Amino acid sequence: MSRLDSFLRRVTAQRDCLDHAAKLIAHVDGPIVELGLGNGRTFDHLRALFPRREIFAFDRRLAADPASAPDAAHLVLGDFRDTLPDALTRVGAPAALVHCDFGSGRPEHDAALATWLASMLRPLLARGAVVVSDQALDHASLAPEVPPDGVEPGRYFIYRAG
């Protein structure tokens, strides 16, 4: 499979999982958290899905086009290991949805960050919250959900806060 085909499958799975998550959290109160703003495409999609919710984005540095980035009050810059321990204070309420998009293409690095991140998410999640991730997250507080039709298992992941 070409890299272009792989990219298309990944972003299609991402969009389909986020659209599915929007239905899953329709009755869950709380803001949306984006871990890994990148160029802002997903943030822009989240704004379209959740026009009435606050959306907070976390990333190491700002690389998004200004039209696809949050305002300063909703942007947290720095390494996740430094910014996530205090995320609930910054966000102000447990999140209904956390989208994790932090894959670097370096399997060992991504696996180590996923293990750490999974252990840090629970305090940030509202009851019934959903986590959508580009990496598998293994933690007792996260129950795997079946992805929507068309998303191959292992391509993108959905979890419900337990």
CA distance 115 to 120: 9
User: What's the pLDDT at 9?
Assistant: 92
pLDDT digits (tens, 9 = 90+) for 103-159: 777 888 888 889 999 999 999 999 999 999 999 999 999 999 999 999 998 999 999
Backbone angles phi, psi at 119, to 5 degrees: -75, -20
The gap from C-alpha 117 to its chain's centroid, in whole angstroms, comes to: 11
C-beta atoms surrounding 154 within 10 Å: 9
Q: What share of the chain is helix, strand, coil (3-state, %, to 5)?
A: 40, 20, 35
Q: Exposed, middle or buried, 76 (CB in 10 Å: 0-12/13-18/19+)? A: buried
Domains of the chain in start order, with CATH, are 3-161 (3.40.50.150)
pTM for the predicted model, two decimal places: 0.95
Phi and psi (nearest 5°) for 91?
-75, -35
Mean pLDDT of the chain: 94
Q: How far is CA 77 from the centre of its chain?
A: 15
Q: Which residue has the higher pLDDT, 125 or 1?
A: 125
pLDDT tens-digit profile of 86-110? Answer: 999 999 999 999 999 987 778 888 8
